Every structure is written in C-alpha cells, then in structure tokens.
Amino acid sequence: TRRTIVAMPGDGIGKVVLNETIRILNSAGFEADYEEGDIGWEFWCKEGNPLPKRTIELLKKHKIGLFGAITSKPKDDAANELAPALQNKGLVYSSPIVGLRQYFNLDICIRPCKTYKGNPLNFIRRGKGGAIEEPIVDVVIFRQNTEGLYGGVEWSNPDNIVYAALTSHPKFVKNFGSVPREDLSISTRIFTRTGTTRILMAAFGYAKKNGYKSVTLCEKPNVIRETSGMMFKLAQEIQKKKFPEIELWNTNIDAQMMWLTKNPENYGVIVAGNMFGDIVSDGFAGLIGGLGFACSAQMSDEGIAVFEPTHGSAPKYADYPVSIVNPIAMVESACMMLEYLEEKEVAARIRKAVAEVIEEGKVQTYDMMKMTGSADVLANGAASTQQMADVIIEKLKTK
C-alpha cells in the first residue's frame, strides 16, 4: 500500500533539507505521497497561527510526519513586521513544534547518536601512551518530551495561592526565608507516573529488541528527590519485573557529561527526563559530528510519529542563493521513519549510501570541513546541500 507522509518543511533551512531528503527517499524506491503541512513563522505572519488547524488534521489523518525546522524567533525586525499587529489583536507567538508535541502528546523522543567511520568531526581522545583513539559511539537517547521543566508551569511574581503554598513548604522557609513574591521566578519540574513509565518502558523495550545489555538512567535522584527519585524507583521496578535480563545503570547528569567525553563507547541506551534528555543528547551529538548529523523521532501513544533533525532553521543561511547546510541529520531522521514503517531494507540502503559517502570523504558540506558557515564555503571546496544529496543518490544506485 502506498503511504501518505505529511511533509512539514517549516522555515529557513528546514525547507531545503526536507526537499533534498524526499528526493533521496524517492530515489531509494520508497513509495509514498507527500502532503505538505504548513507550519512555522511564515504562517504566523500570514494568518496569526504558526500551526494551522489544517496541518493538525493532516497529521491526524496520515499519522506520519517528516518535519524540517521552524524559527521560534525571527532573526530581524523585517521578518517581525507583521507580528506587532498580531500581538495587538491579542495573539502571542508560541513555538509550533512544541505545540505539536503537546497537541498529539508526542511524549517519547528518541535520539540516536552513532559514529560514522571517517567523519572528520568524530570525537578523538588520547589513550595509553598518548595514542590517539577514535571510540565508536553507538548510543540511543530516550528523552521524555512533554513534562518536566518544559511543561510550561511557571510564575514570576506568583499570586496568593502559589505564594501561600510555597511559604508553607519547610524547605522554602529554610532556604529562601521571607523573600518577597516580586523577587521570585519559578519554573516547575513536574513528572507524572504515567509519562515517566512510558519513557522507561520505551527505553527498556528498545534495548531488549535491539540487543543492548544495559539501560542508563541519567538523572540526579539523590538531589532532585521527588522527580528524579520517582524515575529511579520506577526504573528499578520495571527492570526487575519486566526486563531482568537488562542491567539498569544509574548515573547523574553532571557526571554523565564528563564520562561521555572519557568513555562514550560504554553507553548504549540512555533514558532521561525532558531537560536532562535534551542536554545529554546534545552532548553525545557533539561526539558524532554535531547538528548536521543529529536526528530524532517523536511519538505518541496513539500511533502519531514525527521525524525531524534536532537542528533549527539556521536563519542566517536560509537566504543564500545556494544552500550550504548538511542534509544528513534530516536524511537520518527519514531513515528512522522508514524503520518505524518497517521499511528496514530501504532504510539500510540509504544508511549504507550515506556511510560510504562520508567514509570516502570526497564530498563534504562545510561543517564536515570545519569551516565557518558563509556564502564562500562553496568556492572553497565545500559541497552544497544539493550536491551532498546528489552524491548520496549516486551511491544508492550501486546498492
């Protein structure tokens, strides 16, 4: 059966990376139709809604989305021209990708970070006798995507009820004394048992299915007792009752950030709440080449899944006459989609083509050449986004 994918390019470089990725999917023989879903700053300016209802309806119907990137804040006032008018109407811009996550409860976020052989951006370290080593990173991070510090429950200068609740907490009295409410800004870190259990189950289930021997919980349970502490307790229960063959490792986010630069090869599946999951996934992404390589999937309980690179819209490059950014993060995200759809053979062929292109090293985007992004990088030998996609397509023909 032919599938329909909701293609949501968004803003800036989101458009070009998605476009080139669809070209690669077509060349690889993945049979699908694409319906374009409007999302982003552009639609806020045009119609006062960055996530139009029609896009929600498209996703409800087709269930699978490929998303480029959006601009959360415009780069200059010119782009902002319409916004004051909209704000005068009482409309406030809020990030449509966060909106999408909340609307469909895309609470499971998966971010794999795997080393490509020959990537000049790979992390290296010194081993015994000063020898240079290039450890192979093969980590999949499971990040709770809707709760915690990103749940949006926040106050500045809190009202009576909130202030009364705070000042009745013994720790508040002890640590903050009689601080006046005007002096307070508060962001809550709310974990639910349901949300926490779901991300833990997803992580353990993935580890079991894919032959990883351990799951590492990366939180801070000895300090953040109620939230991290609950997650740790639930992790222990789930491991004991449902996944006795898989080890549970418990690390603290701060120590983990150090260890990932010392021995990243020791880690397999990592699970964390929203904020720490965000941090640890960017940390590991840095070891395998950074934003040009970091892909992700987000999924709900109800079979809605959206696949996207973790980078943003990079507005400063969006207006270049020829696009220079690396499409691989988007291509890898599409491979995650293919695997989700059980199109494993197509996914494997694309991954292999990408791996060979990287290993040969003849065609590299500016980031892979350690250049600073600018319009001249092409004159200095960097490949454009389209040239990178072209060479992947050429490679696919040999697969």
Residues that bind ligand NAI (CB under 6 A): 69-73, 97, 291-292, 311-316, 325-326, 329, 367, 373
Q: Rounded to the nearest 10 degrees, what angle do helices 328-340 and 13-27 cross at?
A: 50
**Which residues lie closer than 8 Å to 224 by C-beta, 6 or more apart?**
189
Q: Contacts with Mg ion: how many residues (CB under 5 A)?
A: 1
Give the nearest distance from C-beta 90 to ligand NAI in angstroms: 23
Give the nearest distance from C-beta 72 to Mg ion in angstroms: 12
Give the nearest distance from C-beta 182 to ligand NAI in angstroms: 29
Q: Report strand pairing: 247-252 vs 214-219.
A: parallel
Residues 254-293 that bind Mg ion (CB under 5 A): 278
Main-chain dihedrals φ then ψ at residue 316, nearest 5 degrees = -65, -20
Q: Which does 304 bind (CB under 5 to 8 A by kind): ligand NAI, Mg ion, none?
A: none
Q: Which does 315 bind (CB under 5 to 8 A by kind): ligand NAI, Mg ion, none?
A: ligand NAI
Give the DSSP letter string of 324-367. Answer: -S--HHHHHHHHHHHHHTT-HHHHHHHHHHHHHHHHH-SS-BGG
Give the nearest distance from C-beta 372 to ligand NAI in angstroms: 8
Whether residue 51 contacts residue 99, with contact meaning beta carbons closer than 8 Å, is answered with yes
> Residue number with the shortest CB distance to ligand NAI?
312
Q: Which does 112 bind (CB under 5 to 8 A by kind): Mg ion, ligand NAI, none?
A: none
d(CA 385, CA 389): 6
Of the pair 70, 235, the CB lying nearest ligand NAI is at 70
Convert residues 78-117 into a mask of x (bound to Mg ion by CB under 5 A) and - (unbound).
----------------------------------------
List the beta bridge partners of residue 111: 141
At 133 the three-state DSSP class reads strand
> Residue number with the shortest CB distance to Mg ion?
278
20 belongs to the binding site for Mg ion (CB under 5 A): no
DSSP state of 184: -
d(CA 214, CA 206): 11
Of the pair 80, 250, the CB lying nearest ligand NAI is at 80
Q: Which does 278 bind (CB under 5 to 8 A by kind): Mg ion, ligand NAI, none?
A: Mg ion
Give the nearest distance from C-beta 278 to Mg ion in angstroms: 5
Token pair of 107 as six digits? 């609470």
Of the pair 110, 166, the CB lying nearest ligand NAI is at 110
Q: Which does 205 bind (CB under 5 to 8 A by kind): Mg ion, ligand NAI, none?
A: none
47: number of Cβ within 10 Å = 12
d(CA 398, CA 224): 53
Q: Which does 82 bind (CB under 5 to 8 A by kind): Mg ion, ligand NAI, none?
A: none
Residue pointed to by tokens 């490509």: 116
Give the nearest distance from C-beta 319 to ligand NAI in angstroms: 13
Q: Which does 325 bind (CB under 5 to 8 A by kind): ligand NAI, Mg ion, none?
A: ligand NAI
Give the nearest distance from C-beta 262 to Mg ion in angstroms: 22
Go through the chain and tell me how many residues it has.
399
At 243 the three-state DSSP class reads coil
At 139 the three-state DSSP class reads strand
Q: Which does 190 bind (CB under 5 to 8 A by kind): ligand NAI, Mg ion, none?
A: none
Give the nearest distance from C-beta 14 to ligand NAI in angstroms: 7
What would the 3-class secondary structure string for 295-331 be? Answer: EEEEECCCCCEEEEECCCCCHHHHCCCCCCCCCHHHH
Give the nearest distance from C-beta 318 to ligand NAI in angstroms: 9
